[in-house]
Amino acid sequence: MRKIAVGFVAAVAGGTMLLSGGTAVAATKAPTVKIRDISPSPVVVWGHKTTTANFKIDAHRWAKKVELTVEPVSPRARTMRAKEVKQLNNWRFAVPFTSHDPEGKWRAVAVAFDKRGKRIAKDTSYFHVDVRKVRVKADTRLTLDASPSRVRKGKAVSLSGRLVYQQGRSWRAVNREKVDIYFRAAGTRAWKWVKSDRTDRWGKFSVKDRALRSGSYKAVFKGDHRLDKATSRTENVRVYNWRR
Whichever domain contains 177, its CATH number is 2.60.40.730
Total domains in the chain come to 2
Residues 160 and 208 in one domain: yes
CATH number for the domain that contains residue 38: 2.60.40.10
Residues 113 and 226 in one domain: no
Question: The whole model's pTM is what?
Answer: 0.51
On whether residue 55 sits in a domain, the answer given is: yes
pLDDT at 29 over 80: no
Residues 39 and 154 in one domain: no
Q: Distance between CA 127 and CA 189 in Å, rounded?
A: 53
pLDDT of residue 147: 97
pLDDT of residue 46: 87
Residues 226 and 124 in one domain: no
On whether residue 177 sits in a domain, the answer given is: yes
Nearest to 126 by CA among 102, 145, 149, 107: 107
pLDDT of residue 23: 44
Residues 125 and 50 in one domain: yes
Tell me which of 99, 132, 165 is where a domain ends: 132
Residues 168 and 124 in one domain: no
On whether residue 126 sits in a domain, the answer given is: yes
Tell me which of 112, 132, 152 is where a domain ends: 132
Q: How confident is the model at residue 91 (pLDDT cuts 50, 70, 90)?
A: confident
State the residue range of the domain holding 183. Answer: 140-240
Q: How confident is the model at residue 26 (pLDDT cuts 50, 70, 90)?
A: very low
On whether residue 20 sits in a domain, the answer given is: no
pLDDT of residue 132: 85
Residues 152 and 104 in one domain: no
On whether residue 21 sits in a domain, the answer given is: no
Nearest to 108 by CA among 130, 123, 86: 123
Burial bucket for residue 133 (CB in 10 Å: 0-12, 13-18, 19+): exposed
Around 125, how many Cα atoms within 13 Å sit in the side-chain half-sphere? 17
Tell me which of 132, 162, 179 is where a domain ends: 132
Residues 146 and 236 in one domain: yes
Q: What one-letter code names the amino acid at 33?
A: V
Residues 114 and 63 in one domain: yes
HEC states along the chain?
A: CCEEEEEECCCCCCCCCCEECCEECCCCCCCCEEEEEEECCCEEEECCCCEEEEEEEEECCCCCEEEEEEEECCCCCCCCCCCCCEEECCCEEEEEECCCCCCEEEEEEEEEECCCCCEEEEEEEEEEEEEECCCCCECEEECCEEECCEEECCCEEEEEEEEEEEECCEEEECCCCEEEEEEEECCCCCCEEEEEEECCCCCEEEEEEECCCCEEEEEEECCCCCECCEECCCEEEEEECCCC
The whole-chain average pLDDT of the chain stands at 84
Residues 171 and 228 in one domain: yes
